[in-house]
Amino acid sequence: MNALPSTASDLARRARWIGAAGWFVLLLSAGSAVLPWVWHAHGAAIIGVLLIAAGLTEIFAGSLRHETRKLAMFAGIVTTLAGILFASQEATHFLSTLTIVAAWLFVRGLILVNAARLEHGSVRKWTGASAAMDLLLAAILAVGLSIATLVVTLFGATPPLIASFAWVLALSFVVTGLMLLEVASCARVEDV
């Protein structure tokens, strides 16, 4: 990979790409939000694809960062791996889909907490908000873990359960997309 951009034109180009990544993640959040009404039959596979797309986007946007490049890319890698696990039939039979989503949110939230500690200004606030959202959603899922695990074990991933995952993804993706847009905004004027 080339050296990190340092000129104003390089920073502006990097900001445009990070902003585009933010808008793409927001688009994915909209797709996730409408999932329960549009794609009933293949909800788990589509959620896996959404996670993979968001993860790859986050890896790309993270590669354009300076201060928290590795942590931002690691958050994207965790999201991509969760998507692969979620879309894999073998993984969802071995691990409950709820466990995959809760673990993804928890690990990603911890990564973002560490990234927020290294950032400053509004990027720190938005990264912290993204971390808090993921940790809160992980906690909510963990509280319902025993009941939902029993339902998944007995009946499989039911459409209402898949719908709840779609809303969880949508909430996480919205905050992540907004965080990327803030990173892009700050990258236009300073070195992020």
pTM passes above 0.85? no
> How does pLDDT run across 120-159, given as a tens digit for each residue?
889 999 999 999 999 998 988 877 655 555 455 545 555 5
How far from 84 is each of 8, 41, 52, 124, 191, CA to CA, in Å? Answer: 38, 18, 7, 29, 33
Q: What tokens does 187 get?
A: 């990258």
Helix, strand, or coil (residue 27): helix
Query: Domain locations in the chain?
Result: 8-182
Residue 46, φ and ψ in degrees, nearest 5 = -70, -40
The pLDDT of residue 169: 82
Q: Which residues contact 124 (CB under 8 A, 6 or more apart)?
A: 116
The pLDDT of residue 33: 82
